[in-house]
Amino acid sequence: MGRVKNLHRVFESFKIIPLSLIHNAVKYRKCNDIEVVFDERDTKLEFSVVSYGDLISEDEIKSLFKRGYRTKKAASMKVEGSGLGLYALKVVAEAHEFQVTVRSEVLDTTRKNIARNIFTVSIY
């Protein structure tokens, strides 16, 4: 969703960022819907990948981009992973001076088993 005027200069390594986010969204989702959203305002472009899966705690969000880190839920799932995808994303984002943020919001307050997970990359 969204339109981009293509005013932002990005390098070849940029493709690691959306590919890593989409790959993780597909691997760890609990339902089929994944949203990819581009929001451009003035000189700022935000690229977000939204999926629905397990809640990611604030402590886990702080560690998500560390080399080899996987959340407790991710490690217990029958999904292969080495904890390198988000680490590589962060290295590339920092090299480009992009900001990466993560939000995880509970959708079902009675069962607390589905969350809306939003990974956003801000490009200035």
HEC string of 43-87 equals: CEEEEEEEEEECCCCHHHHHHCCCCCCCCHHHHHCCCCCCCCHHH
Of all helices (H) and strands (E), which one includes residue 105? strand 99-106
What per-residue confidence (pLDDT) applies to 90?
95
Q: Name the least confident of 6-10, 14-18, 30-34, 100-104.
A: 6-10
Please give the structure tokens belonging to residue 19: 């590919």
Query: How many other CB atoms are found less than 10 A from the CB of residue 59?
Result: 8
What per-residue confidence (pLDDT) applies to 73?
87
What per-residue confidence (pLDDT) applies to 58?
95
Length of the chain: 124
Residues near 34 by beta carbon (within 8 Å), at least 6 away in sequence? 22, 25, 26, 49, 50, 51
State the pLDDT confidence band at 32, using cuts at 50, 70 and 90: confident
Q: Which amino acid is at 75?
A: A
pLDDT tens digits, 45-91: 899 999 999 999 999 999 999 999 999 888 888 788 888 999 999 99
pLDDT tens digits, 2-17: 777 766 677 778 889 9
Is pLDDT of 119 > 80? yes
Q: Across-strand partners of 64? A: none
pTM: 0.87
